[in-house]
Amino acid sequence: MVLVLAEQNAGKFKKATLEVVTYGRKVADLLSCECTALVIGETDAAATLGQYGANKVLTTADAALENFDSQTYTSALGQVAEKVGAKVIIIGHNSTGKSIVGRLAARMDAGVISGAKSIPSVSNGFVVEKNVFSGKGIASFTLDTEVKIISVMGNSIQPEIIGSDVSPESVSLQIEDSKVTVKERKTVSGTVPLPEAELVVSAGRGMGGPDKWGIIEELAENIGATTACSRPVADTGWRPHHEHVGQTGVAIRPNLYFAIGISGAIQHLAGVSSSKVIVVINKDPEAPFFKNADYGIVGDLFDVVPRLNAALKEFKANNN
């Protein structure tokens, strides 16, 4: 049995959750077993997880699980795993997943891979790949414990509709009261959070200061991308900390990464080099980033980016 934690956000499933359910389905196929999705909290959408390959959908409306707490969530997942006899437990590698995979592995004395980047291979043991050394290397881990726990990097797999709705069943669990009180959640609405973004527009010290980012935001808006920046830009407060990507910031693997006025230091590359397509705009033809790019433009970003914005507007007008 494969067990997937299907996280909901205000009653809906984000693409990131559907990716995890699809991943769970593929693992279940490899092991010729069923895939169960666990949904915490009531939502009308629960049944739709069947479309992504869940054979069974379990829900729990336990009041102790109303707010996220690693301890109560681990307890819930651990209890369900025991009830259904889960052999592989799958969670998204996001703030929830990162908070509970370690706990769950300790609770179940299980093997764990946090941040898996692809479907396991089972031809010669149970092997899972993940990025190591902040994106500079890839390691294949072999797990031989009875229970295996995997958190999956965002954008590692695309959601696939392969089945139809299944009626959810509710499970009752014994959850102790949470010792953590959530006071407030402040999220920016409208933009896709960086770790989940498929398109990212990032700029660096080449911007020269905090006040000229309009062209970067416009570019991001034109293609529906999320904005990011290099470390010195966040350190000096030109942009907020959560936009800092790289070895000591957020590690991302979008389909498209624009690097504008960023030199391409090894610590920056570490966090972004798994991007599928990289476009570099830099006025220095010797900038190291050009060695790691698919498309390169040598030029002053203050000329090139407005020109690109105009070309994108024209493209959008013609394609609508």
Residue 284 interacts with ligand FAD (CB under 6 A)?
A: yes
Site residues for ligand FAD, 181-220, by CB under 6 A, read 204-206
Does 102 bind another protein (CB under 8 A)? Our answer is yes
CA 238 – CA 235 distance, rounded (Å): 8
The binder of 86, among ligand FAD, another protein, none, by C-beta within 5 to 8 A per type, is: none
66 binds another protein (CB under 8 A): no
Please report, as a single letter, which amino acid is at residue 253: R
Q: Are 126 and 143 in contact (CB under 8 A)?
A: yes
Contacting another protein within 206-235 (CB under 8 A): 223
Q: Which does 152 bind (CB under 5 to 8 A by kind): ligand FAD, another protein, none?
A: none
- Using DSSP's 3-state secondary structure scheme, residue 245 falls into strand
Q: Helix, strand, or coil here: 66? A: coil
The residues in 5-64 that bind another protein, with binding defined as CB under 8 A, are: none
Pairing label, strands 126-132, 137-143: antiparallel
**Residue 236 interacts with another protein (CB under 8 A)?**
no
Which value, in Å, is the radius of gyration of the alpha carbons in the chain?
Answer: 21
Query: At residue 290, what is the residue type?
Result: F
End-to-end CA distance of the chain: 46
Backbone CA torsion sign across 187, 188, 190, 191: negative
Nearer to another protein, 169 or 235 (CB): 235
268 binds, among another protein, ligand FAD, none (CB under 5 to 8 A by kind): ligand FAD
- Please state, as a whole number, how many other Cβ atoms lie within 10 Å of the Cβ of residue 98: 15
**Per-residue binding letters, 242-281, with ligand FAD (x by CB under 6 A):** ----xxxx-----------xxx-x-xx--x----------
- Size of site (CB under 8 A) for another protein: 96
> Cβ 157 to another protein, closest distance in Å?
17
Q: Residue 3 Cβ, how far from another protein at the closest point, in Å?
A: 18
Residue 204, both tokens: 């660096």
CA distance 12 to 43: 7
Q: Which of residues 92-131 bind ligand FAD (CB under 6 A)?
A: none
